[in-house]
Structure 1
Amino acid sequence: MDYLTLVTGNKIPVIGSGTNTFGKENRDYNGNINGDTTELEWAIENGYRHFDTAISYRNESVVGKAIAQSGIPREKFFITSKIPGSEPYNSNEEEVKKAVNDSLEALQTDYIDLYLIHHPWDDLDGIVAVWKTLEKFVDEKTLKAIGVSNFKTKELDYLIEHATIKPAVNQVESHPGHWNDEAIQYAVIHNIVPEAWGPLTRVSDEAKKVLTEIGEPYHKTWAQVILRYQIERNVVVIPKSHSRVRQAQNLDIFDFELNPEDRLKIAEL
């Protein structure tokens, strides 16, 4: 596994597992929570130690259960969760504190490696107020790092101007057809680690054909080519799979490097 260094000095694995349909009936995002940890167990067996969940996913407890049952020390894992950018979570300091403490309890841990504001909302001062409360948890070492998700330049500029602790991460949509270069370049310039959610989603058949051709000399799949491209430009990736085999394939990207010509072709998709 490779790692990037957050502004806090902590290390983040460049690949994590998404979880937003894990532990739910019919593997449906809106399905009832059934507590099934099968996919999480496979991921841990495959070598994943970075897991990304959120309050809005409703399955923090499933992620916490799988990690607790793994027998692997907590400090070997990197756990990300997120507080919604909506009421009641963003309404006052007490609601923010309750959200963080509820996440800690559900995840069966006394600290969270990375805690994100899941979405911005149309109140920049309100965003800063939530952030100031999260900063207190960092000071207490309950949250090791804090960051944001789906933030654009305007929101990040305002937050950085008023924050004591700079955002460690901005997790954004990034995949072929929408690499989101502007957001990623902004993050890099400001020493914020960019993360890609849904890195293997919305890939057109045409893009898959090009990526498959690129992958053939490396003996890699189109998905592995995408993930490799992202980490080569210092983007953390959060793929998700309900297949034990594909989970393993998504981790198997550290034994090759894309040549400049291939990177250019991928960038133009």
Structure 2
Amino acid sequence: MTDVPRVTLNDGETIPQVGLGIYGPDDEAASAAVETAIGLGYRLLDTAEQYQNEVGVGVGIKESGIDRQELYVTTKLGNESHGYDATLRGFDGSLGRLGLEYIDLFLIHWPMTKLDLYPESWRALEELKSEGLVKSIGVANFQEDHLRRLFDESGTVPAVNQIELHPGVQRRELRSFNTAHNIVTEAWSPLAYGNLLNHPTLKNVAAHYNKSVAQVLLRWNLDLGNVVIPKTVTPNRMAENLEVFDFTLQPEDVEQIVALENGVRNVYDPDLMDA
């Protein structure tokens, strides 16, 4: 079983550097995926209220038989639950669906900029942390201006900023901003939705290491110091995604990968979303 390194957060907690993203599967499939992943050595499990599978994730955790303390569970605030009181209610809902006593990392999923309520939601996250219901708090899909506002209006710097990040969308400035403020960058869609898996450049690089393209994409992110949460429900791919700690990309290969940036991002704009 692979021993996954852990990254230290700005609050002193640690997070496994590779986890399972659980976007997509329904409760039944999520339960099976989680149980399988835990058996393979995954300890970081990443879900969200929006994914509508928190119940399944909780069942998978229970069925695995593993000690809760060994797991690192992330979930995220639903977009309809912004505002102080609504955030507390939203968290209670997630905690109940997961069937857990606490969450390791609770994120504001999107800033929902047009609603202009994310600072209030952040105050609620601070309260949840102070009560011990959450070990660490962070954000997802936040831009620099969103983060600066949290700095200005609260006393807590997010532990994590989870963003889309892969060679096609490298987010250099935001990554540098995160690092400068001791915020860990966590990459969602580190495999670029599968769109780069047949890219000839990446195939050639992968051949150098006798690895798959997926493993090269994950290694690229890991070499940047990021946490990655590739999503899959296929056991052999789960296992493959953990086998990324026995090689490091050489500078000439990194140069080829960096040259693949195309700026093609997901369709959701954090500055425009309001629902």
Q: TM-score by structure 2 length?
A: 0.88
Give the CA deviation at 1:221: 0.6
Q: State the partner residue of 2:255.
A: 264
Change (3 A) 1:126 1:161: same
Match of 2:47 among 53, 70, 75: 53
Q: State the partner residue of 2:65.
A: 71
Question: 2 CA distance for matches of 1:125 and 1:113?
Answer: 26
Q: State the partner residue of 1:27.
A: none
Whether the 8 Å CA contact 2:31–2:58 is kept in 1: the answer is: no
Runs of 5+ unmatched residues, structure 1: 25-32
Q: Aligned residues, how many? A: 257
Whether the 8 Å CA contact 1:175–1:203 is kept in 2: the answer is: no
Whether the 8 Å CA contact 2:7–2:17 is kept in 1: the answer is: yes
What is the percentage of aligned positions where both structures have the same residue?
39
Are 1:223 and 2:214 an aligned pair? Answer: yes
Question: 1 CA distance for matches of 2:200 and 2:31?
Answer: 34
Give the CA deviation at 1:37: 2.0
Are 1:254 and 2:245 an aligned pair? Answer: yes
SS, match of residue 145 in structure 1: strand
Question: 2 CA distance for matches of 1:157 and 1:219?
Answer: 43
Change (3 A) 1:203 1:109: closer
Q: What amino acid is aligned across from residue 5 of structure 2 in structure 1? A: D
The one-character-per-residue Cα deviations of 1:46-84 (angstroms, maximum 9, x if unpaired) are 111101000111111111111111111001000000002
Are 1:208 and 2:199 an aligned pair? Answer: yes
SS, match of residue 80 in structure 1: strand
Question: 2 CA distance for matches of 1:111 and 1:99?
Answer: 14
Runs of 5+ unmatched residues, structure 2: 261-275
Are 1:83 and 2:77 an aligned pair? Answer: yes
Q: What amino acid is aligned across from residue 12 of structure 2 in structure 1? A: G
Q: What amino acid is aligned across from residue 21 of structure 2 in structure 1? A: G
Question: 2 CA distance for matches of 1:204 and 1:118?
Answer: 24
Alignment RMSD (CA, Å): 1.7
Question: 2 CA distance for matches of 1:93 and 1:162?
Answer: 14
Q: TM-score by structure 1 length?
A: 0.90
Match of 1:20 among 2, 18, 23: 23
Q: State the partner residue of 1:166.
A: 157
Give the CA deviation at 1:116: 0.4
SS, match of residue 103 in structure 2: coil
Question: 1 CA distance for matches of 2:153 and 2:58?
Answer: 33
Question: 2 CA distance for matches of 1:83 and 1:142?
Answer: 14
Q: What amino acid is aligned across from residue 67 of structure 1 in structure 2? A: I
Question: 1 CA distance for matches of 2:196 and 2:151?
Answer: 39
SS, match of residue 199 in structure 2: helix
Give the CA deviation at 1:203: 4.9
The one-character-per-residue Cα deviations of 1:143-163 (angstroms, maximum 9, x if unpaired) are 101111111111111111212
Question: 2 CA distance for matches of 1:49 and 1:196?
Answer: 16
Give the CA deviation at 1:262: 1.2
Give the CA deviation at 1:108: 1.4
Question: 2 CA distance for matches of 1:124 and 1:13?
Answer: 33
